Amino acid sequence: MKLQDRVAIVTGGARGIGEGIARAFAEEGAKVAILDLDGEAAAATAAAIGNGAIGFACDVAADGEAKAGVARVVEHFGGLDILANNAGAGRGPIPTENVQFNAGVENSDPVGWDETLSQNLRTTFLVTKYAVPHLKARGQGSIVNTSSIAGITASPALAAYAAAKAGVISFTRSMALELAPALIRVNAIGPGFLYTRAWEGMATLMQSSNPAFANLTPRDVFLGIVKQGVPMGREQTPEDIGKLAAFLASEDAKNITGQFISVDGGITLR
């Protein structure tokens, strides 16, 4: 129970990696608040993980909603100790028809670019901005940002996403230095290959646009990529990310700040 009675916010925590983080926090004794675009799913996940967790709809890319969401959590639980900035990806389903997976920069959509940066970088900035005063009021705290291995590798097929996640890493380092005197630690995690909704969408897109994958399910496409691209030969899971996030949020990591840690089975070693 390394996080006993700590109050934690997890953005984008209704499912996938965010749910893995929320569950790990609750298992270590934290009181968790899940902020997600899907309020119904957020409430259901909160009910499932228990320990007094709450979940509600909040668009953390919107200034007013991010501020109000943090204030609601602090009012409900009486303070804030941990922030997990996990909200990311984009809104709605990934299109699977008439789309080139690697379209190139000249064919990129500026609206999609802005949306991707908003959902993956602006979200991290806004919630951090409104959480920091409450973390300072506790005399210490921990912020764990979900970045991606795409943030440290060349990813022409996902240029906007990679740029946003690289921005999360840089923001993490800057905030770690700024907030160190307040004993607020800031670290980032780089998930590898996890079969989340985002990866399912990409695998579906690849399956529909590549004749070699025509007879495969999106899951099979993903597992083939794992086998080919992960040195350890196995996929990563939300539980893997959650356990690291819980460690980074705990006193066991009291002198760890400004770090980016990949959980990728060795992908980025190549």
HSE-CB for 21 with a 13 A CA cutoff? 33
Residues 89-99 as b or e (16 or more Cβ within 10 Å = b): bbeeebeeeee
Q: For Cα atoms 24, 263, 101, give the angle at the middle one, nearest 5 degrees.
A: 110
161 is catalytic: yes
Q: Which residues pair with 32 in a beta bridge?
A: 8
Q: Which of 25, 77, 130, 161 is catalytic?
A: 161
Kindly give the interhelix angle for 16-27 and 238-249, rounded to the nearest 10 degrees.
50
C-alpha 176: how far from its chain's center? 18
Closest Cα partner for 13 from 199, 201, 38?
38
Residue partners of 170: CB distance under 8 A and separation at least 6: none
Residues with catalytic annotation?
161
